Amino acid sequence: MTVEQNVLQQSKSQKHQQTFLNQLREITGINDIQVLQQALKDSNGNLELAVTFLTAKNAKVPQQEEATYYQTALPGNDRYISVGSQADTNVIDLTGDDKDDLQRAIALSLEESNRAFRETGITDEEQAISRVLEASIAENKASLKRTHPEVWSDSPNPYDRKRQDSCPVGLKNVGNTCWFSAVIQSLFNLLEFRRLVLNYNPPASAQDLPRNQKEHRNLPFMRELRYLFALLVGSKRKYVDPSRAVEILKDAFKSNDSQQQDVSEFTHKLLDWLEDAFQIKAEEERDGEKPKNPMVELFYGRFLAVGVLEGKKFENTEMFGQYPLQVNGFKDLHECLEAAMIEGEIESLHSENSGKSGQEHWFTELPPVLTFELSRFEFNQALGRPEKIHNKLEFPPILYLDRYMHKNREITRIKRDEIKRLKEYLTVLQQRLERYLSYGSGPKRFPLVDVLQYALEFASSKPVCTSPIDDIDASAPPSGTVTAQTIPSTTDQQGPSSSEIPSTSPVQRSVIHKPFTQSRIPPDLPMHPAPRHITEEELSVLEGCLHRWRTEVENDTRDLQESISRIHRTIELMYSDKSMVQVPYRLHAVLVHEGQANAGHYWAYIYDHHQRRWMKYNDISVTKSTWEELERDSFGGYRNASAYCLMYINDKEQFLIQEEFNKETGQMLVGMDTLPPDLKDYVKEDNKRFEKELEEWDAELAQKVQQEKLLASQTPRMPAPSSAPVQAGEPEYLEQPSRTDLSKHLKEDSVRAITKALAEQEDRSPETVMQMVMLTPNMQGIIMAIGKARNVYDRCGPEAGFFKAIKFEYARLLKLAQDDPPPECDYRLHHAVVYFMQNEAPKKIIERTLLEQFGDHNLSFDERCRNIMKVAQAKLEMIKPDEVNMEEYERWHQEYRNYRETTMYLMVGLELFQKKSYMEALLYLIYAYQNNKELLSKGLYRGHDEELISHYRRECLLKLNEHAAALFESGDDQEVNNGLIVMNELIVPCLPLLLVDETEEKDIAAVEDMRNRWCSYLGQEMEPNLQEKLTDFLPKLLDCSTEIKGFNDPPKLPSYSTHELCERFARIMLSLSRTPADGR
């Protein structure tokens, strides 16, 4: 047996031992690893006997109230706990307190488990995987028989399933297999892992007849995994079906139960199978050398366990794969790692004579791909079911692991001791600060500085010589308007005078009923409590003391807060020196689970290292994402979604993500060129089948079109309308749906919907009726007007119907122009005519615009619409050149185009501002403000709210200034240069725009704020190179010239339909109305 085989054999033995430990932990609820190991040792590996030792009445360790549902011990070991529950014929009542029943249940469970393993050689966890896989396949097959569409059913249109350019390929969910998609996609996007799988050749000795069960299971799976990866590389489909690979997994086990599979369990088993498959190949090709398993080298590392057990020191090295971390009680990944690397009393590790036990873990060799399992499930013994931990846990995109390396153990121990000392000191300071911020001995507490201020205000109030009750009584009118209950009759019963009655007692306070003119407080009565008697000398001494005490408290509070901030900063920077940032690991994938412990959905966020962006892989859907979205879905604490598995890769090992290159030409290989010949042929065949689907779909559509043409040719048709005088290249705001956009059936359905709505629901407003019909606002209004004029049309003909319809439409638009809607409902965007009316355009301009809309050649839904369209076109032809000034007509329409363009600049700028993309937002807001100012110079209703645009332009500049200043303060050369680039290229050119109008006080104040921020650096100590850059930059910032310098070209605007523009503008304006005005 070779050394490598011996190591692997030891690793397998450790895995089996760890499986037993995990079973003991789940059954007994005891988490102390040493107690569990001792019980297993005393029972000679007999699980039943070990459980008896641990649960006996004379057990040395009390059981915890809650047992961890999903606990992991040594990394890289198998431990699988079923999420669901299984029915058993041997039922024992565990609801009572009889401990014998519990013992019998445990014994029965262990006996069944051991017997199943002896008979089949298959563990319980493998059977659990079998159950979910078999259920997934069965559910997928059953879905084919269902009549209603399921969420994973394919669209009948193959173009909906066609891959767009080089977009990544998704994986179809074949029934509760989102866990499979999440894991496979994460591994596939590791280019080195992808190459290993694609270039895997099964050993020649096993091609004909597998020698054992492992080969019978692993080799077919590797074949299907290669096919699946090849499809993910070169398929023309938007997503591919992984059923065959899942079928292999299912066939490896035998069970009929069903449940949702767990990501980490599947990843464990998948890597085990891949390790076995590559080990077979490695042993065949070793040629006398020890075999190297690429899966072990890629995913497995080693750590050194150093510890003390009952005063005796020990030290041993262990392998690990996926590293388990507890989430509960920790706020970030480093805290989890610190807790996982230290067990027991850490002080005992460094003492010679100690009976305590504890151990430290130190990484001696990290794998290129480091996977952390986040234990987000625990077993609630009180409820008898697993529960998910939704606590928030932060993790960084770059993780430095230097502090956990064995080579850095001495300096790490020193830093840990220092952090411990700082945290102890921090606790003392926080307790002291709390006494200042929550002063008092009762249930209600207040800041001490406020208490002193209140006392000072009370002492400084004007003294009064009478009781406040006497004052109120004396002010009562003699006419008896005060009721009998005004002054309680306590003097007759108890004898005290009114001055002895506490004025603050709610029981004795009375309601004074007076006329409005008599209810005023007398001028001699102070508005708040005040001292009865106090001399000037007493007041002077008291005020002096209170002023001094308040100043002392303020200084003490400020000093404590600053000290606490400094300590926090010191702890944060403890590991930031260069010697502790030499082992960077970059976040490659985050596997997210949404739901509860026994049900939910998985997806993955995977970093595209070449495009430098995050992608979201959610079964068949693959979309671009952001770090902000990843944070929201993965950190937890926000909703039921949280990260369950983190995959980091060594940032210095570029081979993990490096593309392949042609050895002869040196060109990068992409797509199909990266595939071996056999897989390339496989993908080509599948693509041919998909292309055939597309061709068959096209042929079917062409046949339908031909049949429609044949039917149309057999039906008499109206003569085509004469060429309309509408100008070529109509303005965007006069857009109408083209014939190619609306099929014949859609037109008929629209007409029927409108006619029916008008006929049956006359009481509804036109806008309400049109909500279900997807037409542009212009077309909606015209069709509605024609529908209303149908009676006149039927009685008097098309011309009378036309005049009636245009009258209806004109009246409707005039009403809209006279309304005062909120900003999110701007009717000017819906209709150019509303804009013209509000800005008092000549009547001839408005009439011609309406005629062109009625005469549009697309208005051919039915015979009535076509006839009215022809009347409108005839009216247009009758307009003489001298009746409408076409130059003026074009000027008005050009101005409306400018208004729409300004709206788009404003809308996009505000959207980017809300996304905190301030650099991109600034240019849009600059052009929105400049264009809007020009529009408003011609009329009040020709543009948007100038103050709103000015506010967000100003806020954008202030945000960028803060960002640039922060970069400058960092002191890093690259960061400083980036900050100055922001100032020189974005902010400085904009300052004249804010200074040009001296009446805009807020803009001028903002400029001063920005300048003061940078001038404040002049008196500070800084590096000579920073001083030089600041001296060079400040004159540009302080230039008082209002000469507007040149800007970049206006940003390109996408083409928006009227519907889309109105909808997006309404959405952004509505969101602003829900946001605090920030001083606007």
Catalytic residues: 178, 593, 601
Q: Which of 595, 605, 603 is nearest to 641 (CA)?
A: 595
Task: State how far the Cα of 785 lies from the Cα of 779, in Å rounded to an integer.
Answer: 10
3-state secondary structure of 789: coil
Q: What is the DSSP letter of 916?
A: T
Task: State how far the Cα of 336 lies from the Cα of 324, in Å rounded to an integer.
Answer: 10
Q: What are phi and psi of 385, to 5 degrees?
A: -155, 160
3-state secondary structure of 909: helix
Encoded tokens for 1037: 């910032």
Encoded tokens for 526: 């102070």
Task: State how far the Cα of 721 lies from the Cα of 727, in Å rounded to an integer.
Answer: 16
Alpha carbon separation from 869 to 754, 788, 874 (Å, rounded): 18, 16, 9
Q: Would you list the DSSP string of 259-314?
A: -PPPHHHHHHHHHHHHHHHHHHHHHHT-TTSPP--HHHHHH-EEEEEEEEETTEEE
Alpha carbon separation from 315 to 3, 15, 320, 321 (Å, rounded): 20, 19, 16, 20
Encoded tokens for 941: 């209703």
- Residue with structure tokens 């079917």? 700
Q: Which of 102, 33, 31, 35 is nearest to 70 (CA)?
A: 31
| Contact yes or no for 51/57 (Cβ under 8 A) | no
Q: What is the DSSP letter of 987?
A: I
Q: Would you list the DSSP string of 1005-1062?
A: HHHHHHHHHHHGGGGS---HHHHHHHHHHHHHHT----PPPP-PPPPP-----HHHHH
Q: Which of 383, 264, 270 is nearest to 327 (CA)?
A: 264
Task: State how far the Cα of 715 lies from the Cα of 709, in Å rounded to an integer.
Answer: 10
* Spacing of C-alpha 68 from chain mean position: 29
Task: State how far the Cα of 369 lies from the Cα of 334, in Å rounded to an integer.
Answer: 18
| Start-end of H helices in 162-204 | 178-188, 191-198
Radius of gyration of the chain (CA): 40
Task: State how far the Cα of 923 lies from the Cα of 956, in Å rounded to an integer.
Answer: 10
Encoded tokens for 647: 């995959």
Q: What is the DSSP letter of 985?
A: I
**Would you give the end-to-end CA distance of the chain in angstroms?**
80
Task: State how far the Cα of 942 lies from the Cα of 936, in Å rounded to an integer.
Answer: 6
